[in-house]
Structure 1
Amino acid sequence: MKTRSRFTLGRLIRLALLLLGAVVFLAPYIFMISAAGKSQDDIFTAALSLIPTHFFYVQNFTKALDKVAMGTLLWNGFVVCALIFVFQVLVAIPCAYAMAKLKFRAARLMMVLVLLGLLVPIHATALPLYVAFDSLALLNGYTALVAPFTISVFAIFLFLQFFRAMPDDLIHAARLDGMSELGIVSRVIVPNAWPAVTAFAIFSVVAHWNDLFWPLIVISKPGYATPPLGLMNFRAAEAGDDYGALMAATIIITIPLVAAFLLAQKRFVEGITMTGLKG
């Protein structure tokens, strides 16, 4: 009976900590949903209230859809994230397979370069990349948005850890059947790598869907604006920011990310767990 009560107390403490963490994590979203239904007067009032005095959801969402071409923003975000993800996977999987399963002298050096690549942020290379795209007349287009991110050292590192956990006997059996290395990658490695691919997809899509820094540099035409860049239209130095409509627009561009994560949650957890295993 004593052991059972201790277990119950420990479980209650864990649940309380998890609940506290969930509240802290969800607090920004709660305030976002609350502000999306408030008028400007309610937002700037001294009293803190999550429930709007007057519900302005319809007005704010209508204003958000009228202020910017929301369909264009969402389409641009989808195209950019999809192209970046496809190119990243096409490059990362063969590189990671070679480093994990092939024996060659430069393997250790390549691993060091991958780890060093993780330390270089896009901000450090933004200026030379901008100059290069400007000289090639590639600004204000999908090429400028996609090209700098087609090679992801994080993807290579993630797939490398996943492929190391795969049994070598599977690779040897494929070689005995006469498969080439490219055939092994396409017919053996890729079908077994979907958990890792799904896990990386979440990281890649969230990072580039929410990216404002690079699109703000290379895009000046509204037709190629990504969702975060489109939210800049709600800023007004003279009239003040329209926070109600801004929060409504933020909810609209956040919904696809939430839906994608919920649909891929099981694969995401599986992929993260398996990339931590050592073969």
Structure 2
Amino acid sequence: MRTGVFLRRAIALSLLLFGAALVLTPFFWMLSLSFKSQAEIFTPHLKLFPEALRWENYVAAFERSTLLRFLFNGFVVCAGILFFQVMFALPCAYALAQRNFRARSLIFGLVLAGLLVPFHVTAIPIFLGLAELRLLNTYSALIIPFVASVFGIFLFRQAIAAMPGELFEAARVDGLSETAIAWRIAFPLAMPAATAFAIFSVVAHWNDLFWPLIAITDSSLAPPPRGILYFRDEESGTDVGPLMAAAVVVVAPMIVGFLLAQRRFIQGLAVGGLKG
């Protein structure tokens, strides 16, 4: 009996390690290349580890491009999108979860349908609208199309629906308005879901290349993926070391952020699935 349990655990662990290796290998290779010289990168022999750590690639990455500007743009865009997404998603989710009104099921069904529509379908109408408003090549062009998130509404709605209704009834008896209940009671209790949603949102928009390619042409407004594209095309050419160093700098904040918030991330996903 114990042998069977041990064997199953060993197989499961082996599969997990294999899957982790597949996922992490590209990141490890990127990190390894960022410390190698040009000659070492293009050697005919495969070397997983650099012969010596060459920090000059990182120095070149900052000297040959406005990498700090790209990172700043990414922070502004991601923070702006996340702020407005939460501002819109939480009240909508609270109403769908804890208020009874006509067409509530229909509206929630439309939210679920919205999850099936990829952004690429609406990209051209949004682009034309922003062009008419003369908002292209601005931070607004990078933020406005994403301020309403159906995924955020769904995730917050699931978390708030799992909360006891008596808690909100008691708050109403105490004289709190619906807005105050949503922000002072529901939002703190839904913080794990908010953390999970924040990770999804920031990672998605930090790594987004499709929309910045369409909405901006000014390199001073480029977020990190668009900035890396400028760096590759105009600055680095075939100088792979600095390019990989720049890629490591761009990816590092996302990895650190996830490691710091992984516990709340898992809690948020678990709570979000408790009640349909």
Alignment TM-score, normalising by the size of structure 2: 0.94
Cα deviation, 1:39-86, whole Å, max 9, x if unaligned, reads 333333332221235x46322212211121121111111111011001
Identify if the C-alpha distance between structure 1 residues 5 and 83 changes in structure 2 by more than 3 Å, giving closer, same or farther.
same
Deviation digits for residues 88-142 of structure 1 (CA, Å, limit 9, x no counterpart): 0010001011111111121111112111211222211111211221222211111
- Tell me which moved more, 192-201 or 121-130: 121-130
The whole-number CA distance in structure 1 between the counterparts of 2:231 and 2:44 is 23
1:266 corresponds to which residue?
263
| 1:108 has 2:86 as partner | no
Aligned residue number for residue 205 of structure 2: 208
Bigger Cα displacement from structure 2, 186-195 vs 81-90:
186-195
The Cα shift of 1:4 comes to 2.2
Equivalent of 2:41, from 23, 40, 43? 43
- Residue 120 of structure 2 corresponds to which residue in structure 1? 123
What residue number does 1:147 align with? 144
TM-score calculated relative to the size of structure 1: 0.93
1:28 and 1:174, CA in 2 relative to 1: closer, same or farther beyond 3 A?
Answer: same
- RMSD, aligned CA: 1.8
Contact 1:234 1:245 in 2 (8 A): no
Out of 11, 15, 18, which is 2:16 matched to? 18
Determine the structure 1 residue equivalent to 2:223. 226
- Give the corresponding residue for 1:161: 158
1:218, distance to aligned residue in structure 2 (A): 1.3
Q: Is the 8 A contact 1:114 1:156 kept in 2?
A: yes
Name the SS for the 1:273 alignment partner: helix
Say whether residues 1:255 and 2:220 are aligned partners. Answer: no
Letter in 2 for 1:197: A
* Alignment-mate amino acid for residue 78 of structure 2: C
Quick one: which of 59, 67, 71 aligns to 2:68? Answer: 71
Task: Tell me which residue corresponds to 2:30.
Answer: 32
Question: What are structure 2's unaligned runs of at least 5 residues?
Answer: none
Native 8 Å contact 1:145 1:214 kept in 2: yes
- Residues in 1 aligned to 2:189 and 2:236: alpha-carbon distance in whole angstroms: 55
CA displacement at 1:233 relative to structure 2: 2.2
Decide whether the 8 Å contact of 1:60 with 1:248 is kept in 2: yes
Native 8 Å contact 1:234 1:242 kept in 2 = no
Describe the SS at the equivalent of 1:220. coil
* Residue 2 (structure 2) aligns with: 4
Task: Kindly indicate whether the alpha-carbon contact (under 8 Å) linking 1:195 and 1:271 is maintained by their aligned counterparts in 2.
Answer: yes
- The code of the aligned residue for 1:206 comes to V
Tell me, in whole angstroms, the C-alpha distance in 2 between the residues paired with 1:128 and 1:118.
18
Deviation of 1:240 after TM superposition, in Å, equals 4.3
Cα distance between partner residues in 2 of 1:267 and 1:136: 40
Alpha-carbon distance between aligned partners in 1 of 2:236 and 2:199, rounded to the nearest angstrom = 37
Q: Unpaired runs of 5+ in structure 1?
A: none
Cα deviation for residue 263 of structure 1 reads 1.1
CA 1:135–1:241: 2 relative to 1, 3 Å: farther
CA contact (8 A) 2:64 2:236 kept: no
